[in-house]
Amino acid sequence: MTDSRTMMGLRPWGRAVLATALLFAAAEVGAQGGGFGMSAAPPIPGYEPSTDPRDFSGLWRSRPAPGSFLPFIIAGELPFTEAAKSRAEYARRMAAQGTQLATPHVMCRPTGVNQAIGPIAPVYVLQNSEKIVFIVMDEIRDIRQVYFADEHPADLEPSYGGHSIARWDGNTLVVDTIGYNGRGVLNNEVVHSTAMHMTQRITKSADGLTLQIETTLEDPAIFTEPVTVKREWSWVNGQQPLEFDCEENPREDNFSGMIFAEEYLRPICIQYEGEGEELSRVVCEKP
């Protein structure tokens, strides 16, 4: 591994600490004060937000979820099905014992619904008359394309982030997303199904400094009724996210004691450190 950083710039031992924090944040949703990596940046002179209510272009950052330092955590008692409730309790029990469950966030995999609700890193938004593109360069790289269209394609190919179409309701953008591959993990606890249906209503404040996002999640495999989540994204002046490879050829000790309840999260290639004069080696297995 040419770069010793792992998730969010942490070394292997830091990954374990952060991973445990992610699970405890979901389990306890305790007040943590400021946001995760939300330090202020010096402003860029002359760079001002657009007050056009239909122009979302620019750099944005999600504010933390209420009662948590993470923006994607859904607080409160969720209307889980019995199967989903059992999975959430298992994840919390393992976290309390200090055992890490592999999740997309921990393993640097696409996070789907989580990334759309509240990405940890800043989000570039590019926009034209055909689509809006949400780009995350830091944390877990992600590109979400939202097409201005009336219907989803009939031959939709399932994916981590699903397929999104949008229309304007006045000055509120309504985004409809289906077509998930069933590999997203809500709250780092519960795996949602391919039936997940996400609807978002995004409204820009009059001063151009805030995106108010209301997200409704429907998935009969994990919820007994729809769940609505509200978040605010703040316009950012002065931050320039750097290109960042979350993980490449992860080291064997990154996963010591980790449980892979979802086998697809297990890394294909692992780096084994040589001892003494022995060369380090990367071993890849066919997925």
CA dihedral 87, 92, 94, 99 (to 10 degrees): 120
Strand partners, 177: 164, 198
Distance CA 265, CA 271 (A): 16
Q: Phi then psi for 278, rounded to 5 degrees?
A: -70, 135
Tens digits of residue pLDDT in 14-34: 444 444 444 444 444 333 333
Tens digits of residue pLDDT in 46-60: 778 899 999 999 999
Domain annotation covers residue 278: no
Domain annotation covers residue 20: yes
Boundaries of domain holding 142: 7-235
Distance CA 189, CA 192 (A): 10
- What percent of the chain is helix, strand and coil (3-state, nearest 5)? 15, 30, 55
Q: Does residue 171 register a pLDDT over 80?
A: yes
| pTM: predicted TM-score of the whole model, two decimal places | 0.81
Domain annotation covers residue 225: yes
Domain annotation covers residue 131: yes
Tens digits of residue pLDDT in 197-226: 999 999 999 999 999 999 999 999 999 999
Q: Does residue 37 register a pLDDT over 60?
A: no
Report the amino acid identity of residue 143. I
Domain annotation covers residue 258: no
- Three-state DSSP state, 177: strand
Task: Indicate the number of domains in the chain.
Answer: 1
Domain annotation covers residue 72: yes
pLDDT band for position 269 (cuts 50, 70, 90):
confident
Lowest mean pLDDT across 8-17, 38-47, 172-181, 208-217 = 8-17
Structure tokens given for 60: 């944005």
Domain annotation covers residue 279: no
Strand partners, 126: 133
Q: Are 210 and 234 in contact (CB under 8 A)?
A: yes
Sequence-separated (6 or more) residues with CB below 8 Å from residue 16:
100, 254
Domain annotation covers residue 274: no
